[in-house]
Structure 1
């Protein structure tokens, strides 16, 4: 039996939505899982993957598959995984969520587990740790979630584009999270709550007049700028070039600028600013994705 899974990239936070908002993108990783009879779990992580990802004990696809099999109660779990990875790793684009979700979905499909979407999110988030990215990758569109509540989603304007500057240098989410405070002032909590509500309204009504202000944040971006000093200048350059709003992509180091018409000018501005900062990287323009991961099971 075989299953083919396509899981999309996603951008979490979008400014004030720290750990609760994420946007799915039209950029995906593909995973094929083929059952085998000897009980062994193997993985081919694809061309260009780091050698460590060939270790099934370290790869998130195989680890999440094993975790889901444990939860389902499956003992006969032999499978060969083959991956095609297009989502840049450790850049704030949800690569780990896509990998983890793929492993869970493979287990659910191959072993016919009667799991609903929330059960899939819960299992993947247990290993991956970022419920927002997992929810967006599974559900598509703009996902809203938090522990203890059911994840919900909404469609996003098809004309919207995410213009992303993706630095060559990686940054792990763990490292980026170490600088984020665990407590915030009442003033900062009100600031972020108001902008998070404004951000959801902007997406729901497709009214982008307030998007620049709605993507402002006091909880994590100022602190992470200490690790990535280019953040404020890249965001400012994108806004000056016509971006509707701009923010750190997830935990970084990538920057995302949202645009409807000015993709080319925002792209050029980000490239110029990166060059002036002597920051190597590339710019990618990607549409939002209003559908989540796809699963195709074949006998």
Structure 2
């Protein structure tokens, strides 16, 4: 039996929606697995993967697979897993969520697990520590996650695309999350709650100019700018290039801009801002992917 999983990159928070909002992008990772009939688990981490991921014990796809098998009461041995990595590692584009979801879906598919979407999101969130990227990767589109309730998703109109700037540096998610703890006031909470609602309305009604204000954040981006001083400059550069709105993607360091016009001008705005900050990196353009992970199972 062989299974192939395709899991999209995701951009979380989108400004005000810390641990609440996320959307799926066209860029995707793939995980292929097949039963070998041999002892143990072998892994090919794929091109571009850090060398330590050759070790099954340190590979998040394998760790998620074995954890899911344990949850299902199924044996994990006798499987070879191969990864194809297109999502940049440790850049705030959901690479860890893609790995955790990919491994979980491999276990579910190979063992015929009757898990529903809510159960899968809950399980992967337990591995990740937060549900937003996992929900967007599984469901696609724009997702809103609420503790204790199923995640909801909505399609994003095709005329809106994302331009993402990916710098040549890493920002540790755990550190980026620690600096956020206790860093907001009641006024900040009201500001972000209002803008979350405004963001969803703007997407639903195609009110693209409103995204400029709807993607403003006063909760997690200000403290993270101490770790990543170029972030405000990159956001400003995207807006100068004509973006509807822009924000840090997840914990960063990638920055995402939502664009209803010419994406090339926004890419140029990103690059000018990066040059001012003496920051190297690249940008890419992506549609929002209005469908989530795909599973292909064959004998």
Q: What range is the shorter-chain TM-score in?
A: over 0.9
User: Partner of 1:99 in structure 2?
Assistant: 99
Deviation at 1:186, TM superposition (A): 1.4
Supply the RMSD in Å over aligned alpha carbons: 1.1
Matched, 1:80 2:80: yes
Q: Which runs of 5+ in 2 are unaligned?
A: none
Matches within 5 A, 1:199-214: 199-214=199-214
Could you tell me how far apart the structure 2 residues matched to 1:221 and 1:20 are? 15
1:78 CA drift (Å): 2.1
Secondary structure of the 2:209 match is coil
2:165 maps to 1:142: no
8 A contact 2:183–2:223 mirrored in 1: no
Aligned with 1:261: secondary structure? coil
May I ask how many residue pairs the two structures share in their alignment?
299
Q: 1:127 to 1:96 in 2, by over 3 A?
A: same
Q: Secondary structure at the match of 1:210?
A: helix
Indicate the residue corresponding to 1:20 in structure 2: 20
1:180 matched to 2:180: yes
Secondary structure of the residue that 1:57 maps to in structure 2?
helix
CA distance in 1, matches of 2:152, 2:163: 25
Q: Note the C-alpha offset of 1:152.
A: 0.8
What CA distance in whole angstroms lies between the structure 1 residues aligned with 2:5 and 2:226?
37
| 1:67 equivalenced with 2:67 (yes/no) | yes
Other-structure match for 1:31 = 31
* Secondary structure of residue in 1 paired with 2:265: helix
* TM-score, with structure 2 as normaliser: 0.98
1:25 aligns to what SS in structure 2? strand
Partners of 2:232 and 2:270 in 1: CA distance: 12
SS in 1 for 2:222: helix
Q: Is the 8 A contact 1:69 1:77 kept in 2?
A: no
Q: CA deviation at 1:176?
A: 0.8
Partner of 1:153: 153
CA contact (8 A) 2:142 2:153 kept: yes
8 Å contact 1:132–1:146 — kept in the other structure? no
Q: Which runs of 5+ in 1 are unaligned?
A: none
Query: Deviation of residue 261 (structure 1)?
Result: 1.1
Aligned-pair distance for 1:76? 5.2
Whether 1:42 aligns to 2:59 is: no
